[in-house]
Amino acid sequence: MELIELLKKSLLFSGLADGDLAELATITVRRKFKKGEALFSEGDVATGFYLLVVGSIKLCRIAPDGREKVLHFVRAGETFAEAAFFGDGKYPAEARALEAGEVLYLPKQGFMELMARNPNFSLNLVISLSLMLRQFARQIEELSFADVTSRLASFLVRRADEKSTSYGGITYIDLGIKKGELASRLGTASETVSRTLRKLKDEGIIEVQGNRVVIHQMEKLQKLCERHE
């Protein structure tokens, strides 16, 4: 697929005219990555940002005690690491591939030059960062006020919205991550996630089949999203 068509799929660039996209394509580099590969590590000098074309990537930080905290799972069509353009100019987290795929790399220097010449790039970047802040604010709120069942239910509902298959009122979703990574995302322990999944299964709301979750009662799961401690 042509670079311009790939760039159009991103919210960050969706408002740009074809001429702007063509200019952006001149500085864009396509990069493939392998499962388990780190695109960058926490503290590395930020040389640019990325647009995920295909595959799965997690953004995470390592705590002093060695525990991993997953900040975000990047979906195809999303940009990430834009915030590294500001502050101390270093990547604030690690980006690691959960499966093989491809990204578009946009070098910092070239993009900053485009921003200086064309205010549309600056405006779109501000919008993208605002949406990112809203997303993290929602995540912080969940971790602060919602119990584990509510957090897990919210994750499953969002995952179903992103990618699922429905048949006869039953929804099938692929978690896409290991239970340990899911626990990190929810701010709890793996054992707690396993217990909560069993509880939801016993209540007839879901069924777990390996790395796949079958949602039998979506309405009940959605109601659990609203529950707080």
Tokens coding 85: 């353009």
Give the pLDDT score at 145.
46
Closest CA to 33 of 81, 102, 105: 102
What is the dihedral sign for C-alpha 105, 106, 109, 110? Answer: positive
Give the pLDDT score at 32.
96
Give the pLDDT score at 132.
65
Q: What digits encode the pLDDT tens for the residues 130-158?
A: 776 676 666 665 555 457 888 888 888 88
- pTM of the predicted model as reported, rounded to 2 decimal places: 0.66
Q: What digits encode the pLDDT tens for the residues 192-225?
A: 888 888 888 889 898 888 878 888 888 888 888 8
Give the pLDDT score at 27.
93
Topology match between the domains 3-143 and 146-224: no
For the chain, which residues score pLDDT lower than 50? 145, 228-229
Can you identify the CATH homologous superfamily of domain 3-143?
Jelly Rolls (2.60.120.10)
Classify domain 146-224 at the CATH topology level.
Answer: Arc Repressor Mutant, subunit A (1.10.10)
DSSP state of 90: B
Give the pLDDT score at 34.
95
Each domain of the chain, given as residue ranges in start order, spans 3-143, 146-224
By residue count, the chain amounts to 229
**CA pair distance 125, 131, nearest whole angstrom:** 10
With beta carbons less than 8 A apart as the criterion, state whether 26 and 104 touch. no
